[in-house]
Structure 1
Amino acid sequence: MKNLRLLFVPLLCVVMFGCNSSQKNKNPSSASQVSLVSNGVRIDYTDTGKGDTTLLFVHGWAINKTYWADQVAYFGKRYRVVTIDLPGFGRSGKNRTKWNTEAYGQDIKNVIDQLGLKNVILIGHSMAGNIVLQGAVDAPENVIALVGVDNFKSVGIISPDSIKYKQEYGEVMAALKKNFKAVAFDWFNKGLFYKTTSKAIRERILNDVAHTDSTIAIATQEWDDFNDAAALLKAKKKLYLINSDYQPTDTTGLIAKKIPFKLLVIHDTGHFPMVEKPEEFNKLLTTAIADMQQH
């Protein structure tokens, strides 16, 4: 099931998250890499640092790879760090018609293959939680673990097959197609920002939303029957969650389905902890990586 509830909580009244410039390439080993192409679409990326372990950061809906700048600076000293603009966003290409989880998962696999990444920790924010999960399913031999950033908040809890859910889903999609900017701004202002989210960060995010390709942004939210619980079981990777607590994480589904996970909570922040509280976020990610290395 598509993770539409990542964005639609204020309108659907369900628990959240279960359901422009690029940086210069700092890695001499990849300086000759002119372009990265996935299924005919160019992917803009950064490749920083060295190491046997790679952190691959994937941004969420309507934003771009520059939101990981603090993590690149911090973790690039110890690991190889790759950030990408998902096709359709940032500086990546838009020349395709499929914008579902399956297509984006193939992009993750292609990035791993073309850059020769090994021992990869996939880190996906918001909508990209499902995307990196699909990437782990597609490239299991290269991926160590998954890190979700403010997502997977109700795995296995909400049924996408309910009549009420589908009706609400349809209503929200219709509203989004009718007035993209107004509806999207409403989601962020009412459901994704917190009282601690600074004015500068709010303005940055809303500016990126306003300038995103609305046709593609809407297409990424179309129903695609992705089942996060089933994919987590198939991936057989431990799931690490760095989640804000402005909306609680319900782990009962993860426990019931015996999906290995570790929840690391970042307090008093909104949906974008990597830019709202970068130092605290980096400490929690460091804790997650240390736990991975023990297994």
Structure 2
Amino acid sequence: MHLFNIGYVIIAAVLWGISGGLAGILMDKGWDPLVISFYRGSIGFVGIFVWLLLHRKGNKMKYSTKTMMWSVLAGLAVAGNFSFYFLSISESGVAVASTLMYTAPLFVLFSSFLFRIETVTPFKVIAMVIVMGGISLLTNVYETGLGSLNILGITSGLLSGLSYALFIFGFKNASKEGSPPFVLSMAFATFTIVMFLFIDHKEALDALFSEDLIWFITLGIIGAGISFYLYIEGLKKTSASVAAIIAMVEPVTASLFGLVILGEVLTLTQSIGLVIILITITLLSRKQKN
């Protein structure tokens, strides 16, 4: 079963990477990133909530206060992750924002050690450092000059990573007692309410009647509904620190999406970074299985 759970996390990360490519297409069409994020979560919420209603008789749903609190925290963390990530992109660029967001395993490992949630092994630490190095090569962050960095961009990037770590812990704890559909319904309902407060409402309304609506729907189904469902299933038997590192396959998928679909070209350095990430994640997955 451990192999299946790790597979769920990997598939979820792959779908998140594809979602990044779809979001990139919508941003190229001129849509505001926050509006894109809002529809990603809200459409995911609608799909999961409908599924929950249709299957409520055949499944014993648990609605404990603890499950609801962890689900709400997860929803707030997802909203924070999306918002801070896009703010970091606007201030410091994609390379810096992506690298800072994937400091999430650092926060997970530190929290695990501090609160004794799980054992922090040297192998996990080494794997995390190697994957972070691979991401730096993949995103070309080393080419970014110091003059283009600013405190707001760096701070928001780190906050996006912290939010990422929080939603990992939120979903993992919520899934201990609650079913994935219920947990996701609570989380994305919270996400939708919070994001609605910050988006451009006129643009959000325009999206409903635009020719790009199909892209928004696809993004919501893939990037929120299916992917997060698989991720929660995977977290049940996968430690938070390992899940955080394995989920770093997301930027690899996003890069391959850009290569195959958008016609982008990977440099030799980026290709080396991609291979480093894949090899390290494969080794970590095998060790977790054993």
TM interval, short-chain normalised: under 0.3
**Greater strand percent: which structure?**
1
Structure having greater relative contact order (Cα 8 Å, sep ≥ 6):
2
Instruction: Provide TM-score, normalisation by structure 2.
Output: 0.27
